[in-house]
Structure 1
């Protein structure tokens, strides 16, 4: 008689942590829809959700592209590129994000405006191009630029680890078949590295959603900034920051579950 291991019951297989989170979500949603105070605060903060998502998505896409270029430079056979890329990563990772936000907003942004006006001076003098001003450099774009630079250093290390995880023998085999460096990267290295890269890349995206709250220090009208303004005007600090926490938790936990699902899907396709 063949022994078959007993399958755990449905209750034993249920993720209790997820049930607890769903319970908190239901309670939070019930409080917002059933309480006029919470509902008013939610309406006041709802516009900040779009700003938070826009800053996060724009900065993450840009940081991913820059990070990929930095990672390719770090794994390049040209020493100068490796040294420059390593210098960039080590310097950027050593500066706190909040400090870098202030530096970009109040130091780099005016310098960029002056550099633009200097380069475009002939066209500005002819009246073909208007002169740029520091006030015209929106703080939202300054925040996106700062988050892009900060996270590109971390994402570059994720890409580098994924690329270096691909077996050297496969790269040599692809090169021996006559594939160029670009085709070798596109057809052999990157598809395999993607399975290693995706989970930590998704975690970085979730972290950026949380770190986007730092842009409120620049006055950007995100969830945190609107929450501070609402609490300061109504003195409902407990209720306001409950809603702020609820909004961030809804976004981050939803993204975390999506990352877990993608990871499991890729593992099934890889036959793990």
Structure 2
């Protein structure tokens, strides 16, 4: 391992890390409301809405994310939808994770005692108001630890964007390694930078889980 070259590689990898964080944040912003929408649609009593939604969720969760990215980036142009590699990566990652977030939110909502919704309705609240003020706050509290864990997974899975030439951190590492042949140093740095970004998020997830158990 060539420690003397770290100062040369690090600026390029940090630039890639910025792109990694950018992809992660945008994907989270898109996937969260989309996941909540999917959860609501899947729980809808009308099968004309719930059945197609459940089908989309199950199919997407059953596909490797890299296949979804390839499909969006390489196949969509055949039907007239051309996206940049960055756009395709954000849309693909966000869409895939929205299906997981949908299941997290659905589980959180179903974990809330149904009697609370009935009580709120008996007090004169509309269904939407009861959901917004009574059910969803409790459901979000239940879903928060697994939801925060998806952020860690999203950060790591953003590396898949390198497969469609997005110059995030993994891609930067590949380019540096290809030109210097210093694989050990480059990929060790990449791994350490991912750990530096992931460990605080994992600590936050653990703290939220502990807080949910203790109620403090």
Q: TM-score, normalised by structure 2?
A: 0.94
Contact 1:155 1:201 in 2 (8 A): yes
Is 1:76 aligned to residue 22 of structure 2?
A: no
Name the residue aligned to 1:180.
Answer: 126
Highest CA radius of gyration, 1 or 2?
1
Over the aligned positions, Cα root-mean-square deviation in angstroms equals: 1.7
Does the Cα contact within 8 Å between 1:109 and 1:142 map onto a contact in 2?
no
Give CA-to-partner distance per residue, 1:174-193, whole Å, 9 cap, x none: 11111111111111111111
Question: 1:198–1:142: structure 2 CA closer, same or farther, 3 Å change rule?
Answer: same
User: How many correspondences in the alignment?
Assistant: 216
Q: Does 1:45 align with 2:45?
A: no
Question: Residues of 2 paired with 1:202 and 1:75: CA distance?
Answer: 22
Instruction: Report the Cα offset of residue 51 of structure 1.
Output: 0.4
Alignment CA distance shift 1:187-1:106 (3 Å): same
Q: Does residue 58 of structure 2 align to residue 90 of structure 1?
A: yes
Bigger RCO (CA 8 Å, 6+ sep): 2
Q: 1:165 aligns with which of 98, 105, 111?
A: 111
Q: 1:165-218: CA deviations, max 9, x gaps?
A: 000111111111111111111111111111211111111110011110011000
After TM superposition, which residue ranges in structure 1, 4 or more long, deviate above 6 angstroms?
none
Question: Are the equivalent residues in 1 in contact too, given 2:142–2:212 (CA < 8 A)?
Answer: no
Q: Which runs of 5+ in 2 are unaligned?
A: none
Which is helix-richer, 1 or 2?
A: 2
CA distance in 2, matches of 1:110, 1:201: 35
Aligned counterpart, 2:199: 253
CA contact (8 A) 2:108 2:142 kept: yes
Unaligned runs of 5+ residues in structure 1 are 1-30, 114-133
* Partners of 1:142 and 1:218 in 2: CA distance: 8
The 3 A distance-change label for structure 1 pair 146 and 109 is farther
Contact 2:39–2:106 (8 Å) recurs in 1? yes
Q: How far is the alpha carbon of 1:94 from its aligned partner?
A: 1.1
State whether residues 67 and 153 of structure 1, in contact with CA within 8 Å, keep that contact through their aligned partners in structure 2. yes
Aligned to 2:167: 221
